[in-house]
Amino acid sequence: MAIYKRKNIWYSDCYCQGYRVRKMVGPSKRMAEQALAVQTAEILQGRYRLNEKKKPIGFRELTDQYMEHAKTTKLSWQRDCDFMKRFNAFFKDRPLDHITTELVEKYKTHRRNEVLGRGKYADRDPRDVPMATINRELSCLRRIFNLAIAWGKMEKNPVKGVRFFREEMLPERVLTDEEIRVLLLCCNTVTADVVQFALNTGMRRGEILGLRWDQVDLLTGYITVTRTKSGKQRKIPINDTVRDLLERQPRQGMFVFHRNGKPAKSVRTDFEKSVRRAAIGHCRFHDLRHTFATRLVLRGVSLPVVKELLGHSTITTTMRYAHPTPESKKIAVALLERSVVSCEELLTRAIPA
């Protein structure tokens, strides 16, 4: 609740029954403060009535507005579609002023129980279950309510007082050549091509699955990545492995990777099954990007070049992707084996009395 001035006219600004109420007062700041005080007192006492008989906006209407906004501002808006289904199933079409922090806590508990009772997590200790997905949902829900506040539909964000789950910090993996070989042999055709493509370009999963033929130039030998996380397009050279892979892809439609002419929307399930079949331990698709960067660094490629290939804004981020392997550490230490003074010289040196 506040007052503000616009073109020498003071206004009062407050919320009532989920609606933002702004009224023109006049040229006096003091009058605006007094008007706001009266308005606030009437709202607190339940005596203030809106002139318009409007029904407060429902949650489903808000999620529809959010998705319209997300489709034009987020690359990962398709993932938000799954979130909206879960949100709408739980919150239904409640008025926004009826959604409280307590209700969001109930959603959090509901989703946790749902995850624990489902599939591969059913027999696990609750402390060992990764809760990152639920945290991402809560982050999305917080974003929705923040936008509602900015749009003048709410005054307070009910997610603000909710504590997120402590996430299991899984180590980042860099695959060895043998692990890569076994993994590729365990993948189906489409997934194997996508994995091979990721290992040789360092592109993100969404960038690969959304790759169109008009972004590929086999004549000049470059792939142009247009829709990127940083918003800046980048060019990636095509090596012989990627060239062979692209040349054998049937051109059915505008997308490079597809299933029966339809774009491959996701390879996550197939990739996870392939990792389990390969028995190479924990491995996420994003670890292929880490593997790409580390293999380049181990072969002597400078960090600035790796930074440009990955599309990072700063080299500090790139350094997180270039992981030293145990073998590279051994080689580094072995370089110091020839000391300036040998052990024999130290043993036979003359020590003055």
Q: 26 in helix, strand or coil?
A: strand
Q: Of the ranges 115-129, 144-158, 293-307, which one carries the lowest mean pLDDT score?
A: 115-129
121 vs 212, more confident: 212
Please report the pLDDT score of residue 129 as a whole number.
Answer: 54
Identify the CATH number of the domain defined by range 177-332.
Answer: 1.10.443.10
Helix (H) or strand (E) holding 37: helix 29-44
290 vs 53, more confident: 290
Task: Judge contact between 139 and 76, C-beta under 8 A.
Answer: no
Q: How far is it, in rounded angstroms, from Cα 192 to Cα 305? A: 26
Please report the pLDDT score of residue 227 as a whole number.
Answer: 75
20 vs 153, more confident: 153
To the nearest whole number, what is the mean pLDDT of the chain?
A: 82
The answer on pLDDT for 49 being more than 50 is: yes
Confidence band, pLDDT 50/70/90 cuts, at residue 352: low
pLDDT of 101-115, one tens digit each?
999 999 999 998 887
Please report the pLDDT score of residue 119 as a whole number.
Answer: 55
Task: Judge contact between 96 and 102, C-beta under 8 A.
Answer: no
- Stretch 64-93: mean pLDDT: 89
Confidence band, pLDDT 50/70/90 cuts, at residue 71: confident
Please report the pLDDT score of residue 46 as a whole number.
Answer: 67
Q: How far is it, in rounded angstroms, from Cα 189 to Cα 292? A: 21
Other Cβ atoms closer than 10 A to 113? 11
CA dihedral 86, 90, 95, 100 (to 10 degrees): -100
Confidence band, pLDDT 50/70/90 cuts, at residue 169: low
Please report the pLDDT score of residue 40 as a whole number.
Answer: 78
pLDDT of 287-325, one tens digit each?
999 999 988 888 888 888 888 888 888 888 788 777 666
Which two three-digit tokens encode residue 114?
């749902």
Task: Judge contact between 197 and 203, C-beta under 8 A.
Answer: yes
Percent of the chain with pLDDT over 70: 78
Conformation bin of residue 317: beta by default, left when phi > 0, alpha when psi is -120 to 50: alpha
* Among candidate residues 267, 287, 289, the one with its CA nearest the CA of residue 202: 289
Q: Which residues lie closer than 8 Å to 208 by C-beta, 6 or more apart? A: 194, 197, 198, 201, 257
Q: What are φ and ψ of residue 14, in 5° steps?
A: -150, 175
Burial of 195 (C-beta count, 10 Å sphere; 0-12/13-18/19+) = buried
Other Cβ atoms closer than 10 A to 118? 9
Task: Judge contact between 292 and 200, C-beta under 8 A.
Answer: yes
The answer on pLDDT for 121 being more than 80 is: no
- Stretch 202-214: mean pLDDT: 89
Q: 246 in helix, strand or coil?
A: helix
Helix (H) or strand (E) holding 6: strand 2-6
pLDDT of 216-244, one tens digit each?
999 999 999 887 776 778 899 999 999 99
The answer on pLDDT for 88 being more than 90 is: yes
- Stretch 92-98: mean pLDDT: 90
The answer on pLDDT for 52 being more than 60 is: no
Other Cβ atoms closer than 10 A to 96? 21
Q: Taking the complete model, does pTM exceed 0.75, yes or no?
A: no
- Name residue 58's beta-bridge partners: 95
